[in-house]
Each structure stands twice: as structure tokens, then as C-alpha cells.
Amino acid sequence: MKKEYIEAFLEIVKTLNITKASENLHLTQSALSNRLKLMEDELGTQLIIRFRGNRFIELTKQGEEFIEIAERWMLLFNETKKLKHNHVASLIIGSVDSFHNTVLYPIYLQISENDTPVALQVRTHQSMELYKFIENREIDVAFVSFERNVKNVVVEPIFKQRMCIAINIGNKEKKSIGHPSQLDPSKEIFMNWGKEFEHWHNKWWGDSFSPQLETDSMSVLNHFMNIENNWAVVPVSTFNTLFSKNSNIEMCDFLDMSPPDRICYMIKHKYNILPSHDTGLKLFEQLLTDYIDNNSSLMSV
């Protein structure tokens, strides 16, 4: 079985569109169809149903069953290629920006200083994108803000973050802010922490609020929080990382009126990753467990 046949099949499965698949592989449609036919002839069964005059396709029952085999074939092929080289352990981690900057980066530092060398790749994406990358095996492990049912993707809640209000009081004396209604919504730097957070936020400021700025970037948040009277809802771990040394920014805790805890979900593919990546993943998961156990701003789920 040729690698080109497997690649053609998986790209067709991914796009469900002959035209799009051929473009992605930089092939003509006839060349792509020929590769698929040669593979079907070799297997002795039809994998894909093509409709005359229609670019879209359907998988046969055998085609559905062959997806997992093809994915495993590609994993083994890539792993076999690496045997020719002296590769160190590798790991590709994806996450939303907020987890990278306030929770995961100390673990990245520990990995870089560990006796076991790991070639680490770190990628920042939105949660929806990360599910797709894990499903396509483009990333080994990822950290997302919400749970979603995706085929062959395993979702596990890893930790909870207590939330708080960070507000820039300037050079004034410490403010006494004991209720959300005391905050000026026009001065908010809004970060969307999920559906449960949205419900809490709408309870105090409605669903037609107009924040000064909406962002998903920690660096942007950090810059705008230098402006007096600006405020944001952030995890306590974010406050400790970004603002704890800034005397102009204080933390407000509204007790039973505080924002709901934020849950971090770890997602991985249902089936085993490459052996060369497994070593890096085991090291990362152990360091993550130790970090959560020793960090008061993170709580086990």
C-alpha cells in the first residue's frame, strides 16, 4: 500500500469533496481519483461512492471502517521514518491563550530544564480550532475552555480556576467595592470565559452591554489594565501572574456573588499518539499534575 493512496483517502474523508481534496493535495481531480481507484483495487472493496456531476462523496461501510486503519497506517509510517534519524522525544501542545500565559508556561520551562530532552511545540488557537486539530492528529494534547462531543476526541476536566475582579484604582486609596453594580460597565475589558460566565455576567449587566474592549489576548488585557478605572473578570491565577506586583490594580472578591469557577478541559485523540511523542506527553502530564497539586489558585475537578 502506497503512502500517496492513504493520504488521498484521508484527505477525501476530511473534506468530503473531490475538488477540495485535490486542491489541498495539489493534484488534478483525475490524479486523485486514480489513486483512490488503485487503492480500492488493491483492497478489493469500494471505499467511496462518487455521484456523477456532483463533487461531494459518501463513504461506504467499508470506507467508514477503513478510516481508523488508514490513520494508524500513517502514524506507523511517520514513526518508521523517524527511526532513520536520532530524534529526541517530541510533543505538540495546543491551548487557548489564557491557559498558555498563566498556567502552562511554568511547565514548559520545567520541560526545557528537564534531564529528558523533549522537542516541544506550543500553538495558540481558539477552543473550536483545537478540537479540529486534535481530531486530525495535528496536535498531541490541547487545553480548551469548554466540553464538546467530537468523534475520537477524549475530553477530561483537569482543574478549576477561581475567578475574581481586577480593577485599576490608579494612585487612589484602596476602594471598597463589594457589589458588581458598583463597577462601571463602560470601563470593562471583556473576556468571555464560557456559557456559565455569560449567564453570571448578564445577570448584572444584561446581554446588551457595551464593554470598552473585548479580547481573548492576555497581552492586550495587560496593556489596557494599565488605564485607571478599567476592570476585568479574570482567574485568580491570571491576577497573580499579571497584576499582583502592580499596586494600582486590586482584586475584588464578591463572595457568593463572584463569577463561577472556570474549568479547563484537556483533550487528546482517542487512539495512541506516536511513540516518540508519548514520552514527552507522560512527562508533561506528570509535571502538570504536580503543578496543580501545589498551586493554591487551581483546584482539582
Q: Tell me, what CATH number does 12's domain have?
A: 1.10.10.10
Q: What is the mean pLDDT of residues 15-29?
A: 87
Residue scoring higher pLDDT (137 or 87): 137
Q: Are 108 and 284 in contact (CB under 8 A)?
A: no
Distance separating alpha carbons of residues 198 and 163, to the nearest angstrom = 13
CA quadruple 208, 212, 214, 218: dihedral sign:
negative
> What gap in Å lies between CA 211 and CA 192, rounded to an integer?
12
Does the residue 301 lie in any domain?
no
Span 30-35, average pLDDT:
89
CA distance 242 to 87: 36
Give me the mean pLDDT over the 92-119 stretch.
Answer: 87
Which residues span the domain enclosing 27?
3-82
Task: For residue 81, give Cα distances in angstroms to 3, 20, 90, 259.
Answer: 12, 28, 14, 50
Query: Could you tell me the end-to-end alpha-carbon distance of the chain, in angstroms, rounded to an integer?
Result: 45
Q: Are 131 and 277 within one domain? A: yes
What average pLDDT score do residues 230-250 get?
A: 89
Contacts of 33 (CB under 8 A, 6+ apart): 18, 50
Instruction: List C-alpha distances in Å: 300 to 103, 156, 296.
Output: 14, 12, 10
Give dist(CA 51, CA 257) in Å, integer: 58
Shared domain for 172 and 247, answered yes or no, is yes
* 192 in a structural domain: yes
153 and 168 part of one domain: no
* Domain identity same for 199 and 216: yes
In this predicted structure, the answer to whether residue 84 has a pLDDT above a threshold of 60 is: no
Q: Do 195 and 76 share a structural domain?
A: no
- Looking at the fold, whether 250 and 122 belong to one and the same domain comes out as no
Please state the φ and ψ torsions of residue 285, each to the nearest 5 degrees: -65, -35
Q: What is the number of domains present in the chain? A: 3
Who's near 16: CB < 8 A, 6+ residues apart? Answer: 56, 57, 58
Does the pLDDT of residue 295 top 90, yes or no? no
Residues 179 and 240 in one domain: yes
Q: Are 215 and 240 contained in the same domain? A: yes
Q: Convert the pLDDT of each residue in 37-56 to its tens digit.
A: 899 999 999 998 877 666 67
Domain assignment present for residue 209? The answer is yes
Judged against a pLDDT cut of 80, whether residue 218 lies above it is answered with yes
142 and 186 both lie in a single domain: no
CATH of the domain at 201: 3.40.190.10
Residue 83 has pLDDT above 60, yes or no: no
Q: What sections of the chain are H helices per DSSP?
A: 3-15, 18-24, 29-43, 61-82, 97-99, 105-113, 127-135, 195-205, 218-224, 236-238, 275-293
Mean per-residue pLDDT over the chain, rounded: 86
Mean pLDDT in residue range 56-78: 85
